[in-house]
């Protein structure tokens, strides 16, 4: 399965500034692993050592919130990574 | 209180809107709104709320106007650089609309005063640039039962959401916890000047809707805005039963600061000035005693870094702390000294007894030691 991942502004330093990147995988976990292979270190910014989504990060597949990394992803889906912002 | 003849003229375009009308304008006149942070977001929000005729407008900020604020903080102009923000803003807002009352709260919002400040208002707008204050304001609004319109920005991206007591999720339901430094600030990363104009105007819109009871508020939906792609999106989020402040068994029953580097014991941190670091490096050319750890993002590091520095972004530090246990004192470096202090807090929590950081960051290094050093904007 191939999908698109929207990268939030604070993590674009890993993707050379790209806001949309392609990734592969049949689950959110596999999509994150695919991202990690291309952009080393980015997965850990989203999930912790116990594979829990970090509390300042939210993941959505299209507009549905991801509550488990085993959630399926199908071709054409957009995985949105949303990161808390602090600026005012 | 009824509208005067001058007010009927001033607000004519509002009165022409049947959804708002005279009743809505009177509700605006009788309303009290407080804007936390007279910065990029607070500037347009306060200007539009004043123009709209919100009767009492409070402004909370402890800073003075700096030249670098003027790129986005449209409440201010060059003539007020150096002045206390709340006072300069008050004059500007009263010049725009002398029919209203503007209250200047020139202070730092803390757990000790937040309830007293916010209690006197009907709606709270959060435009602060500190995560600790963002959680403090959210928690206070939940505890006081006050509507909150929150927004945040970073580089080219912005978020907005509204909390209405009893109707939906709060900011802590959206992001239960976040640490200062791990989430980069605008000062560190930069921000497109017009971006907070969009988000601040959305905050003012929400406040006007809440006060007048029109439309559908941004409750349970996170609005995201990407200025580069000119794309808005929204994502639903629900109240969390385990939310620490609005959940079924809240653990936050009084204002408190979330865990951050502010709450860590930093007394053991060696705070090196740029010239002190230069001298230490000169006396340790082989780096036998010091390990330079640059905790900025990879692209900032690539632009320019100190010779011998290793790049470990602050968000990866906990996972990579093992790389530091080589007997050297880690000296954490970043752009301004903010992320490096967070790195010190993380290192101390992990058992590293006396880390060091560069006070003032690489900006200070460029100013005091090496003017050719190019500090990336983040």
Chain B residues in contact with A45 (beta carbon < 8 A): 315-316
| Chain B touched by A80 (CB under 8 Å) | yes
First to last CA, chain A: 38
Is the pLDDT score of B261 beyond 50?
Answer: no
Contact check, Cβ <8 Å, A86/B159 = no
At residue B326 the predicted structure's pLDDT band, cuts being 50, 70 and 90, is low
Cβ neighbors of B262 (< 8 A, separation 6 or more) are B132, B180
Helix (H) or strand (E) holding B210: helix B195-212
Q: Answer for the pair B44, B197: CB distance below 8 angstroms, yes or no.
A: yes
Is the pLDDT score of B378 beyond 70?
Answer: no
Is CATH 3.30.1360.170 correct for A2-83? no
Percent of chain A at pLDDT above 90? 81
Residues of B with a known catalytic role: 186, 334
Contact check, Cβ <8 Å, B177/A19 = no
Task: Report pLDDT digits (tens) over B7-19.
Answer: 999 999 999 999 9
Q: State how beta strands B221-226 and B270-272 pair.
A: unpaired
Kindly tell me the burial class for residue B372, based on how many C-beta atoms sit within 10 Å of its own C-beta (0-12, 13-18, 19 or more).
exposed
Higher pLDDT, B78 or B262: B78
Q: List, in order of start, the domains of chain B with CATH numbers.
A: 31-260 (3.40.50.720), 264-368 (3.40.250.10)
Task: Report pLDDT digits (tens) over A24-56.
Answer: 999 999 999 999 999 988 998 899 888 999 999
At residue B49 the predicted structure's pLDDT band, cuts being 50, 70 and 90, is very high
Task: Report pLDDT digits (tens) over B211-242.
Answer: 999 999 999 999 999 999 999 999 999 999 99
Nearest chain B residue (CA) to A6: B226
At residue A15 the predicted structure's pLDDT band, cuts being 50, 70 and 90, is very high
Percent of chain B at pLDDT above 90? 72
Chain A residues in contact with B157 (beta carbon < 8 A): 8-9, 85
Which B positions 124-183 lie with beta carbon below 8 A of chain A?
A: 126-131, 134, 151-159, 174-180, 182-183
Contact check, Cβ <8 Å, A88/B37 = yes
pLDDT at B180: 59
pLDDT at B64: 96
| Chain A touched by B316 (CB under 8 Å) | yes
Contact check, Cβ <8 Å, B224/A82 = yes
Q: How far apart are CA A87 and CA A60, in angstroms?
A: 23
Is the pLDDT score of B67 beyond 80?
Answer: yes
Q: Answer for the pair B173, B326: CB distance below 8 angstroms, yes or no.
A: no
Chain A residues in contact with B182 (beta carbon < 8 A): 56
Give the A:B interface size as CB pairs under 8 Å. Answer: 108
Enter the ipTM.
Answer: 0.95
Q: Answer for the pair B25, B3: CB distance below 8 angstroms, yes or no.
A: yes
Q: Answer for the pair A44, A10: CB distance below 8 angstroms, yes or no.
A: no
**Model's pTM, two decimal places?**
0.81
- Please give, rounded to a whole number of angstroms, the shortest distance from the CA of B155 to a CA of chain A: 7
Q: Which of B152, B156, B313 sits opposite A88 (nearest CB)?
A: B152
Q: What is the mean pLDDT of chain B?
A: 91
| Chain B touched by A39 (CB under 8 Å) | no
First to last CA, chain B: 50
Nearest chain A residue (CA) to B128: A88
Q: State how beta strands A57-61 and A2-6 pair.
A: unpaired
| Chain B touched by A49 (CB under 8 Å) | yes
Task: Report pLDDT digits (tens) over B174-222.
Answer: 999 876 556 666 566 789 999 999 999 999 999 999 999 999 999 999 9
Please provide the size of chain B in residues.
Answer: 378
Contact check, Cβ <8 Å, B178/A80 = no
Q: How far apart are CA B346 and CA B124, in angstroms?
A: 33
Pick from B60-74, B154-168, B244-258, B263-277: least confident: B263-277
């Amino acid at each position: 399965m191939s999908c698109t991942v929207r990268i939030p502004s604070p993590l674009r330093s890993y993707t050379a500034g790209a806001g949309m990147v392609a990734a592969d995988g049949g689950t959110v976990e596999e999509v994150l692993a695919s991202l990690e292979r291309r952009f080393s270190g980015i997965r850990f910014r989203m999930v912790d050592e116990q594979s829990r989504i970090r509390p300042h990060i939210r993941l959505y597949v299209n507009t549905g919130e991801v509550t488990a990394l085993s959630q399926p992803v199908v071709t054409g889906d957009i995985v949105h990574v949303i990161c808390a912002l602090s600026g005012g | 209180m009824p509208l005067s003849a001058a007010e009927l003229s001033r607000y004519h375009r509002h009165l022409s809107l049947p959804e708002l009308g005279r009743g809505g304008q009177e509700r605006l006149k009788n309303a009290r709104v407080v804007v936390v942070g007279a910065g990029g977001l607070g500037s347009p929000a306060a200007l539009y709320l004043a123009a709209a005729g919100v009767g009492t407008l409070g402004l909370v900020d402890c800073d003075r106007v700096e030249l670098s604020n003027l790129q986005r903080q449209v409440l201010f102009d060059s003539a007020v650089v150096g002045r206390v923000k709340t006072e300069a803003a008050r004059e500007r807002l009263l010049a725009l609309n002398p029919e209203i009352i503007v209250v200047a709260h020139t202070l730092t919002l803390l757990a000790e005063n937040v309830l007293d400040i916010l209690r006197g208002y009907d709606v709270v707008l959060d435009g602060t640039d500190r995560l600790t204050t963002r959680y403090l304001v959210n928690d206070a609004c939940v505890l006081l039962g006050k509507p909150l319109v929150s927004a945040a920005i970073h580089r080219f991206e912005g978020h907005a959401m509204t909390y209405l007591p009893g109707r939906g999720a709060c900011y802590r339901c959206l992001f239960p916890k976040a640490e200062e430094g791990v989430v980069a600030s605008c000062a560190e990363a930069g921000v497109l000047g017009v971006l907070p104009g969009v988000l601040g105007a959305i905050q003012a819109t929400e406040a006007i809707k809440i006060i007048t009871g029109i439309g559908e508020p941004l409750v349970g939906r996170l609005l995201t805005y990407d200025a580069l792609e000119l794309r808005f999106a929204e994502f639903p989020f629900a109240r969390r039963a385990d939310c620490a402040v609005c959940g079924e068994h809240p653990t936050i029953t009084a204002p408190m600061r979330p865990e951050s580097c502010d709450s860590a014991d930093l007394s053991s941190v060696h705070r090196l000035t740029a010239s002190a670091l230069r001298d230490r490096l000169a006396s340790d050319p082989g780096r036998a005693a010091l390990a330079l750890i640059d905790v900025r993002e990879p692209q900032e590091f690539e632009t320019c870094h100190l010779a011998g520095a290793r790049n470990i972004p602050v968000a990866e530090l906990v996972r990579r702390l093992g790389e530091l246990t080589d007997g050297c004192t880690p000296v954490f470096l970043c752009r301004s000294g903010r992320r490096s202090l967070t790195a010190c807090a993380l290192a101390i929590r992990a058992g590293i007894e006396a880390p060091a950081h560069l006070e003032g960051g690489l900006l200070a290094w460029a100013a005091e030691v090496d003017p050719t050093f190019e500090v990336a904007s983040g």
